[in-house]
A = this chain, B = another copy of it.
């Protein structure tokens, strides 16, 4: 054995050298053993692992990132934390990535392209190993930042035909069309589409609604109730109360999100409007509580856990440099028929 003596560090921090010293190997061998690189004698691997455990050694991620030009961080950019949809997604991503040794850095864009740009700029400086972003709607500069960084990136929630782009999601328009068709099938004709936030995915659902209504000869622009405000139960209640007053002939409301729909349902209850007898109410996403409403909410169940798991698996493969079978995974959705519509 031939090991150079190491100078004692001034910081007092436990370093790789301490582990190497204790295991009686060189610093490089310790590093390789700890990272599970093959080409280290099994016996040494065991000795290093033991020494590291005994000392309670934790590698310095900053030193690691600096030396290797890559970190074990995966950056996840989502619009909002206050929407349970994204929390479910995040949890699924975490469950899949954590065992592989990755940490998640969450960025919240608040649906602002500008915020996404800032987040991306500062987070990319951390040399993330991977990137998970929501949807495709972003500034050209964001796109360029992602492309130039060379960091593997998977897009969440939507699907794309572009084979150069990786994504896991479903067709928001299809789902919007299907729910509208369901309402039409149950005999409804004056179907309103009530939406807030008006982010790209909401607009895709609107497009699906519009197509179905037009195909049925029922489309009326006055029944597109669009509000740019953030989505909330309170807003759903307001929309139902105010718009129904001016459109008393409406026989169904398709809310673009379950929180609006829940608010609408409760407002109807308060106002004494029978659901679904007078007005059918449908939502989107099947968020927590929708099955607890009275009447329980008919909605589109969107498989965010599956999206999280599948996107994480795809990213893992990308980060390992593996070839992918498909660049886009369509996880679909499910119409959950309950009593409200």
Listed in ascending order, the chain A residues whose CB lies under 8 Å from chain B are: 11, 13, 58-66, 69, 71, 81-82, 84, 87-88, 90-91, 94, 103, 105-106, 108, 121-122, 124-127, 232-234, 237, 259, 262-263, 266-267, 269-270, 288-289, 291-294
Measured CB to CB, the closest approach of chain B to A168, in angstroms, equals 20
State whether A61 and B126 are in contact (beta carbons under 8 Å apart), knowing that A69-B11, A84-B82, A262-B289 are contacts in the complex: yes
Known: A11-B69, A87-B87. 9 other contacts (CB 8 A): A13-B69, A62-B65, A81-B91, A82-B84, A82-B88, A106-B106, A232-B288, A233-B289, A259-B289
Say yes or no: A66-B63 contact (C-beta < 8 A), given A288-B233, A292-B237: yes
Return the contact of A234 from the options B232, B267, B291 (Cβ within 8 A): B291
How many copies, total?
2
Cβ of A121 and Cβ of B11 under 8 Å apart? no
Contact of A103 among B64, B87, B122 (CB under 8 A): B122
Distance A66 CA – B237 CA, assembled complex (angstroms): 53
B82 near A71 (CB under 8 angstroms)?
no
> Can you report 18 residue pairs joining A to B where beta carbons are below 8 Å apart?
A58-B122, A58-B124, A60-B125, A61-B125, A62-B62, A62-B64, A63-B66, A66-B66, A81-B81, A81-B90, A82-B84, A82-B91, A91-B108, A103-B122, A105-B105, A259-B289, A269-B294, A289-B289
Interface contact A233-B266, CB-CB below 8 Å: no
CA gap between A46 and B300 in the complex, in Å: 55
Output the least CB separation between A3 and chain B (Å).
Answer: 24
Top-9 shortest CB links A-B: A62-B65, A58-B125, A62-B62, A233-B292, A62-B66, A233-B289, A81-B87, A270-B294, A269-B294
A94's partner among B58, B108, B237, B259 (CB-CB below 8 A) is B108
* Least CB distance, A211 to chain B, in whole angstroms: 32
Whether A263 lies near B237 (C-beta < 8 A) is no
Taking CB atoms, residues of chain B closer than 8 Å to A289 are 233, 259, 262-263, 289
A105: which B residues are within 8 A, CB to CB? 105
Q: Which chain B residues border A270 with CB–CB below 8 Å? A: 294
